[in-house]
């Protein structure tokens, strides 16, 4: 395998499947199966998941809600998604721990770096919920921060698009896909990979990012095996 320890970033919207909101149990089960497949190969897996299928702080703020309150609601949404994914993984026979940046000891462990590393070394999947624990930071920032803290080899950003394009491939049939691109070129071309804070943090710590289609069966295994799937961003 090309990677020993990965950080998988999933969007909350990915859990909706074909629904308008909420969680699709079939999509959840598919993800659990794919994650189990790579975990059984000895790869250490950590996951950060968004909460956009339940609530978005920015959207709430645009409708007149206090931004800090909205972001706290978004953090709680990521914990709900984390609990759902934990349940699906354990149903698939994968030992899993959910750690949160905000303290909810009744439902999850608080994030403690050393404990997270120990779980990974013991072969458990670790899900990080609650974002960074601070308002104004996205789950992309949380993903990069946790990846650096656990010394992950790569961030795998699972999306519904099969990589990074020069324009939106869902709107432009002539969009050109990049197989490899540097951090500098992403910034020069104004391409949207992650929010600027997260992307800069990844660049400064020389942490590569691979953007790929998580919804295509077998893609996660191909990525961790080193196949040219999606788009790889590195120095």
At residue 174, what are phi and psi to the nearest 5 degrees?
-100, 10
The SS3 of residue 12 is helix
Instruction: Give all strands (DSSP E) within 67-195, no chain letters.
Output: 96-100, 109-110, 125-129, 154-159, 164-165, 177-178, 180-182
Task: Tell me the per-residue pLDDT of 125-134, one tens digit each, with 9 for 90 and over.
Answer: 999 999 999 9
Strand partners, 9: 48, 157
Predicted pLDDT at 222: 96
Task: Tell me the per-residue pLDDT of 42-88, one tens digit each, with 9 for 90 and over.
Answer: 999 999 999 999 987 666 666 778 999 999 999 999 999 999 999 99
Task: Tell me the per-residue pLDDT of 169-217, one tens digit each, with 9 for 90 and over.
Answer: 888 889 999 999 999 999 999 998 999 999 999 999 999 999 999 999 9
Strand 154-159 to 5-10 pairing: parallel
Domain boundaries 5-234, corresponding CATH code: 3.40.1160.10
Q: How confident is the model at residue 5 (pLDDT cuts 50, 70, 90)?
A: very high
Q: Which residues, including other chains, have CB under 8 Å from residue 43's CB and lie 6 or more apart?
A: 1, 3, 4, 5, 6, 224
Predicted pLDDT at 235: 87
Q: Domain residues of the chain, as ranges?
A: 5-234
Predicted pLDDT at 61: 63
Of all residues in the chain, the percent with pLDDT exceeding 90 is 83
For residue 147, pLDDT over 90 is answered with yes
Rounded Cα–Cα distance for residues 137 and 140 (Å): 8
Q: Around 48, how many Cα atoms within 13 Å sit in the side-chain half-sphere?
A: 27
Give the residue-averaged pLDDT of 136-149: 97
Predicted pLDDT at 18: 84
Mean pLDDT of the residues in the chain:
94
Predicted pLDDT at 173: 87
């Amino acid at each position: 395998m090309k990677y020993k320890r990965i950080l998988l970033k999933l969007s909350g919207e990915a859990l909706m499947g074909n629904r308008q909101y909420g969680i699709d149990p079939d999509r959840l089960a598919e993800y659990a199966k794919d994650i189990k497949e790579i975990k059984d190969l000895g790869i250490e897996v950590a996951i950060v998941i968004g909460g956009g299928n339940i609530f978005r702080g920015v959207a709430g703020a645009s409708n007149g809600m206090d931004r800090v309150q909205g972001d706290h609601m978004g953090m709680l949404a990521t914990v709900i998604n984390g609990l759902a994914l934990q349940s699906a993984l354990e149903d698939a026979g994968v030992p899993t721990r959910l750690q949160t940046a905000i303290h909810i000891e009744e439902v999850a462990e608080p994030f403690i770096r050393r404990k997270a590393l120990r779980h990974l070394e013991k072969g458990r999947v670790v899900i990080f919920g609650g974002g960074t624990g601070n308002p104004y930071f996205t789950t992309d920032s949380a993903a990069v921060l946790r990846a650096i803290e656990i010394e992950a080899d790569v961030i795998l950003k699972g999306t519904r698009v099969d990589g990074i394009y020069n324009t939106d491939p869902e709107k432009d049939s002539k969009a050109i896909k990049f197989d490899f691109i540097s951090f500098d070129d992403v910034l020069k071309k104004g391409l949207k990979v992650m929010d600027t804070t997260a992307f800069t943090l990844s660049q400064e710590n020389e942490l590569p990012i691979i953007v790929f289609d998580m919804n295509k069966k077998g893609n996660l295994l191909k990525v961790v095996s080193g196949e040219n799937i999606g788009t790889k961003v590195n120095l």
